Amino acid sequence: MIKKDSKILCIVYPLVAALTIIFAISGCQSPAKPPEEIVIVEQPEDIMGKAQSQLTELLGFIGDSGGKLNDSTLIANVPVIESIYEGGGFQPLWSDAKEWHPSGDSLFNMISQAKLYGLFPSDYHLPALLSIRNQVVIDTIAKKNVALWTRADILLTDAFLKLATHLKYGQLERDSISLRPDSAFSPEKLASLLQEVISGSNPRNILESLEPVHQPYRAIRAALPAFLDSLDFRNYQVIPYPNEDSLEHIRNVALRLQEEGLLDKGWTIDDADSYVRAVKKYQQSMGIPATGFAAELTVKSLNFTDSEKFRTIAINLHRYRQLPDSMPETYIIVNLPAYQLRVYDYDTVVLESRVIVGAAKTPTPVLNSQITNVITYPQWTVPYSIIFKEMLPKIQKDIGYLAKQNLMVVDKYDSVISPETIDWTKLNRRNFPYLLRQRQGDDNSLGVMKFNFRNKYSVYLHDTNARGLFSRNARALSHGCVRVQEWEKLSHFLVRDDEIRYHPDTIKAWISRQEKHIISDFSHIPIYIRYFTCEAGEKGLRFFSDIYGIDKILSEKHFKSKPVN
């Protein structure tokens, strides 16, 4: 009988082992069993021991389940959290499993006020934490449930680490122009930040110390509390645009106007006059031409609800968090949506200018560089993209276009070619052995001064021969370069340390004589072209148009599904 059983065992054990290997390989292992959600402890002396075992079991489950606490909650930085609790003997960090520590209260309050930092409370487990806190405060039985306290402890720890990361580095993806040499905390740094809390430091103080010190960031943060008090985070009608169904478009706009109190609730589609009056009234209130027709500009404004404004604030604060901890002593920054250039010297704005930037079809790139030289009376070599898209069809239609635009044709040897000797009908994108250059002078598209900086996009700062365009509010009009209204002041600032050779009167004399000069022997000042759609001023927060639709993309990717209210 023993021999027979031995034979069976010799067959069964290899089979079981084989099946175990197969199931492991195929990923069909049984899921980890979640810890009990109700663990009542009556005796005070038993609480800490039970909390230790609960934390050990819960962390093991989270590690085995890929960071999932449950179907709706994901814990980040699991290895860091495991090491922190292991190093502390699996003791609770934010409570004693029957009362909150002051640090736990402080952190919870900061999470509940996350919007003050341009953050979304739901990212830091606020709904789950709020539910647990309400239970242990109101229900005496729940207060004895160690499972609730330990879950809250891990949620708070994860929230602290996420807050630290987001306040220091932001939540947006890094890109090629992000200036920070570092892009994430090391596990050791995260652990050390949490250790400061365990040692008695206030978590809010630690977290706020990680925020940027840049003045524009601080100004937005300072203006945010009052701004949030004025916001209405209700869900409003979103107006799709463009909409081929004109009647549906009118109904959507009408509903949105009803939400604004500008159109009677009993309005019907037959009442066109009331609709037009309501549209005009809204347009007048927003400084939009009062046409009575809800086109793109009006729809964008109607869709820019308070919830969207908060998402815009969040995006811009994260952009500032991508900057280094300190900027150079002197630098130039061009803010594309604001159509503005500023020169900072020792954290003070010493020069400000309106600018014209790239149109939506030819956007100005975001970049970092340094101003390397200044050219008076520059000559413009027309980019091929402009030649083929705009100029060549006009030249083929009328060769006189070249003279009207002050353009000359040169070959690869830089020799000027008479346009009449060229068969323009045979030229195209694949066959164009020439360059088009605009003669220097007041008619030159670059104006009388050009500021060069190295970049792969062939863009630069320059004056313009169409200076009247600076009076427009919307100035996304160029092919990608940045036209500067205060070009003369900018040139004087760049050479301010060498007034013997580059006295303002000297530069003025060159310009009056229409002389070409290249100035390069000055301190090369960094230039940053950026995309900020929100800033704080004396009258509070101000928003700029999302001229390239970048905010819309980021909002839909990162924040659209997150509740604001």
Q: Which of these, 330, 331, 351, 324, lies nearest to 340 by C-alpha position?
A: 351
CA distance 450 to 327: 25
CA distance 533 to 336: 8
- Say if CB 125 and CB 73 are below 8 A apart: yes
Q: How far is CA 309 from CA 294, 315, 332, 533, 534, in A?
A: 21, 10, 27, 10, 9
CA distance 331 to 347: 9
CA distance 379 to 516: 9
As annotated, the active-site residues are 462, 481
**CB neighbours of 244 closer than 8 A, spacing ≥ 6?**
none
Q: Give strand pairing partners of 450.
A: 375, 462
CA distance 406 to 258: 54
DSSP string of 320-386, one letter each residue: HHTS-SS--SEEEEEETTTTEEEEEETTEEEEEEEEEEE-TTSPPPPEEEEEEEEEES--EEPPHHH
**CB neighbours of 556 closer than 8 A, spacing ≥ 6?**
none
CA distance 159 to 125: 7
DSSP string of 338-351, one letter each residue: TTEEEEEETTEEEE
**Could you give the angle at which helices 306-321 and 215-229 cross, rounded to 10 degrees?**
160
**CB neighbours of 57 closer than 8 A, spacing ≥ 6?**
35
DSSP string of 104-157, one letter each residue: HHHHHHHHHTGGGGT--GGGGTHHHHHHHHHHHHH-HHHHTBHHHHHHHHHHHH
Q: Residue 18 belongs to what H/E stretch? A: helix 2-25
**Could you give the angle at which helices 78-87 and 146-169 cross, rounded to 10 degrees?**
120
DSSP string of 518-561, one letter each residue: EE--S---EEEEE---EEEETTEEEE---TTSHHHHHIIIIITT
- Say if CB 282 and CB 239 are below 8 A apart: no
- Say if CB 147 and CB 35 are below 8 A apart: yes
- Say if CB 543 and CB 316 are below 8 A apart: no
Tell me the two tokens of residue 185: 């905390």
Range list of β-strands (E), 359-455: 367-376, 380-381, 407-410, 416-417, 435-438, 449-453
Q: Which of these, 447, 454, 450, 488, lies nearest to 468 by C-alpha position?
A: 447
